[in-house]
Amino acid sequence: MVTKQLQQVDVAIVGGGMAGASLALMLARYCPQLSVALLEQRALPDAGASVQLPSFDTRATAISAGSLQIFSELGLWAQLRDYCAPIQRIQVSDRGHALGVSLHAERHERASFQGMLGAVIENAALGPVLHEALAQTPVQLMAPAQVSEVQMGADGARLRWHAGDDGEQAELKTPLLVVADGVNSPLCRQLGVEIETIQYRQRALVTTVGLQRDHGGVAYERFTDAGPMALLPLPRRDGQHRMALVWTCAEEEARALTELSDDAFVERLQRAFGWRAGRIQRAGSLQGYPLSLSLAREQWRRNLVLVGNCAHFLHPVAGQGFNLTLRDCYALAQALTGADLAQDSSDQLDLLQEYGRDRQLDQQLTIGFSDRIPPLFASSNLMVQGLRQAGMLGLTLAPPLRASFVGQAAGFGL
């Protein structure tokens, strides 16, 4: 357990998941003048052990080339590389229709990182890399430290936190509070930040599958009658070829799928996905995630910024949520480079305003991209089917269109 009690820091980040941990690393790297505390309600393990936080569960994350570039700048690529499966090709297809789009790393050099369009990493591997890197920085890791109350005043935020249920309470003051406490954020509610939510009434079923043949670095995005599916390359383990499955389907369908036996599930998956990746031999246990589009109406205010799932929670079909968050965090750290938060609050307001302006377009495009794809591909309406086939054809035939699609998917386009 790491617990340190502080009275005052320049930046307090609440939530040590993918968003909070990434931002803390960036502030340590780009804003060494700022004292930073990261408060996480769950205990953090000793070095080398897995990190038991919601972010670092059994999912795998597709990290765009743009995000890999950011991790590389943070000096983390050497640690991440061993756990990553490179994405050399992205194949988007619509089951039952001949057209598909194939995006190759070698044809999109400007949207690639070291010859890859991106990489896939298991979240359980990402957690220790981020938290071990954090332990090497001056960031004050406070865990377990659950923030139970926030009061905003003229000179910043006052946080009340406690270490576990019967842990002693303490207070922390900061001129800049960053909330990174995940989707359905209780702190946002407490602060009166309105969150707009659209329930998709869908569930993402996630598991790791074993395949007969090597995936060859191909990430498949397949739109089927049973919902969109992503099969993402993973590094081999014990000689087994593996891919990460994200299968999005309606709630009832998801429930039915989780009730199947292992063999029946594999058979159903093979039928729905087809044979592009070869024979699927086995699947691990299924984890389900309810899906919604959830957007905070304000992402910053005087003395306050929201990052990660509490700011925007997206449909995972396009693998954009964390990549967008990483770009937000990077922009925030760049905006705070050289800032003296303790001194001048009007300066801080200008910086946050600039940060907000800077992130608007990327957020709008990325959120729109993630929100519009699922209904487009779920529709059995012939006109919509025709349109999406025309879209695929456009992507196949028009290099500038394809380049901008790849730019968006790879996190470089904006």
Ligand X SMILES: Cc1cc2nc3c(=O)[nH]c(=O)nc-3n(C[C@H](O)[C@H](O)[C@H](O)COP(=O)(O)OP(=O)(O)OC[C@H]3O[C@@H](n4cnc5c(N)ncnc54)[C@H](O)[C@@H]3O)c2cc1C
- Binding footprint of ligand X on the chain (CB under 6 A): 14-20, 39-42, 53-55, 59, 61-62, 146-147, 180-182, 187, 204, 206, 246, 289, 308-309, 316, 319-323, 325
Contact 180, 78 (CB under 8 A): no
Cβ proximity to ligand X: between 284 and 384 the closer is: 284
Is there a cis peptide before residue 228, judged by omega within 30 degrees of 0? no
Cβ proximity to ligand X: between 164 and 391 the closer is: 164
For the CB of residue 25, give the shortest distance to ligand X in the complex, in Å. 13
Coil, strand, or helix at residue 302? coil
Cβ proximity to ligand X: between 327 and 339 the closer is: 327
Which helix H or strand E contains 100, and what residues bound it? Answer: strand 100-104
For the CB of residue 51, give the shortest distance to ligand X in the complex, in Å. 9
Two tokens at 149?
A: 């109350």
406 closest CA partner among 122, 68, 92, 95: 92
For the CB of residue 236, give the shortest distance to ligand X in the complex, in Å. 20
Coil, strand, or helix at residue 259? coil
For the CB of residue 350, give the shortest distance to ligand X in the complex, in Å. 26
Cβ proximity to ligand X: between 187 and 341 the closer is: 187
For the CB of residue 162, give the shortest distance to ligand X in the complex, in Å. 10
Starting at the edge strand found earlier in the chain, the sheet holding 169-174 runs: 146-153, 156-162, 169-174
Cβ proximity to ligand X: between 207 and 303 the closer is: 207
Cβ proximity to ligand X: between 127 and 342 the closer is: 127
d(CA 119, CA 397): 26
Starting at the edge strand found earlier in the chain, the sheet holding 118-122 runs: 60-64, 118-122, 84-87
Contact 284, 277 (CB under 8 A): no
d(CA 205, CA 247): 5
Contact 282, 245 (CB under 8 A): no
For the CB of residue 206, give the shortest distance to ligand X in the complex, in Å. 5
Cβ proximity to ligand X: between 40 and 94 the closer is: 40
For the CB of residue 55, give the shortest distance to ligand X in the complex, in Å. 3
Cβ proximity to ligand X: between 273 and 342 the closer is: 273
Residue with tokens 């936080």, as numbered in its chain: 53
Query: What residue type is 200 in one-letter code?
Result: Y
Instruction: Compute CA distances 140 → 9, 21, 22, 36, 198, whole Å.
Output: 9, 11, 14, 6, 36
For the CB of residue 248, give the shortest distance to ligand X in the complex, in Å. 8
